[in-house]
Amino acid sequence: MVATAAATATATATATDNTDNTDNVVATDNTENTENTDRGQSGRGDAALADEYAYCARLAHEHYENFPVASWMLPKAMRPHVAAIYAFARTADDFADEPGLATDERLRRLDDWGARLQLAAASPERLPSSDAVFRALGHTIRQCDLPIALFEDLLSAFRQDVTKTRYATWSDVLDYCRRSANPVGRLVLRVAGYRDPALDASSDAFCTALQLANFWQDLERDWAIGRLYVPEDCVRRCGAQTADLDARTWTAAWRQAMAEMVTLTRDLFARGRFVCDGVSGRLRWELRVTWLGGSRILDKVERAGGNVFTHRPTLGKGDVPSLLRDALLWK
Structural domain of 312: 4-328
pTM of the model: 0.86
**Contacts made by residues 124-129, CB under 8 angstroms, sequence distance 24+:** 124/37, 124/38, 124/41, 124/42, 125/41, 125/42, 125/43, 127/42, 129/44, 129/48
What 3-state DSSP class applies to 14?
strand
The average confidence (pLDDT) of the chain is 86
Q: What is the pLDDT of residues 260-284, one digit of tens each?
A: 999 999 999 999 999 999 999 999 9
pLDDT at 97: 87
Q: What is the pLDDT of residues 282-316, one digit of tens each?
A: 999 999 999 999 999 999 999 999 999 999 999 98
Provide the domain count of the chain.
1
Burial of 6-21, coded b for 16+ CB within 10 Å and e otherwise, reads bbbbbbbebbeebeeb
CATH number of 320's domain:
1.10.600.10
The pLDDT averaged over each successive group of 10 residues in the chain (331 residues) is 39 34 42 39 71 90 57 84 94 90 96 96 90 96 97 97 97 98 97 97 98 97 96 98 97 98 98 97 93 96 97 91 93 86
